[in-house]
Amino acid sequence: MNPRVTRATPQAEHRLLLQFDNGETRLFDLTPWLDKGVFRALRDSPEFAQARVVDGSVEWPGEIDLSYDTLYLRSVVVKQATAA
């Protein structure tokens, strides 16, 4: 099972800075999703900035969401988790 999101901070150009419960910080680019299904609503909308964490995943108004698995597997590491 992949780690869950604990914090999501919207960034410029439809990117999310994500913190996960394993201590990693990662960057997720939503751009490839913006021409697909419900994600089109976020393309030219201020609603992208309303991203919030719910049960380890990220969601936006209008029942738009991404699972923690997708967010973890398709993001790039910004800061590795440190060993305890």
Total-model pTM = 0.91
Task: Give a yes or no: residue 84 inside a domain.
Answer: no
Closest CA relative to residue 18, chosen from 78, 66, 81: 78
pLDDT tens by residue, 17-53? 999 999 999 999 999 999 999 999 999 989 999 999 9
Task: Give a yes or no: residue 45 inside a domain.
Answer: yes
CB 53 within 8 A of CB 41: no
Please report, for the domain that includes residue 40, its CATH number.
Answer: 3.30.2020
Instruction: Please state, in angstroms and rounded to a whole number, the distance separating the CA atoms of residues 74 and 84.
Output: 25
Percent of the chain with pLDDT over 70: 98
Helix (H, G, I), strand (E, B) or coil at 1: coil
Q: Label residue 71 exposed, middle or buried (CB < 10 Å: 0-12, 13-18, 19+).
A: buried
Expressed as residue numbers, the domain containing 30 is 5-79
pLDDT score of 84 more than 60: no
Task: Give a yes or no: residue 42 inside a domain.
Answer: yes
Instruction: Please state, in angstroms and rounded to a whole number, the distance separating the CA atoms of residues 72 and 58.
Output: 11
pLDDT score of 83 more than 70: no
What's the rounded mean pLDDT across residues 56-78?
96
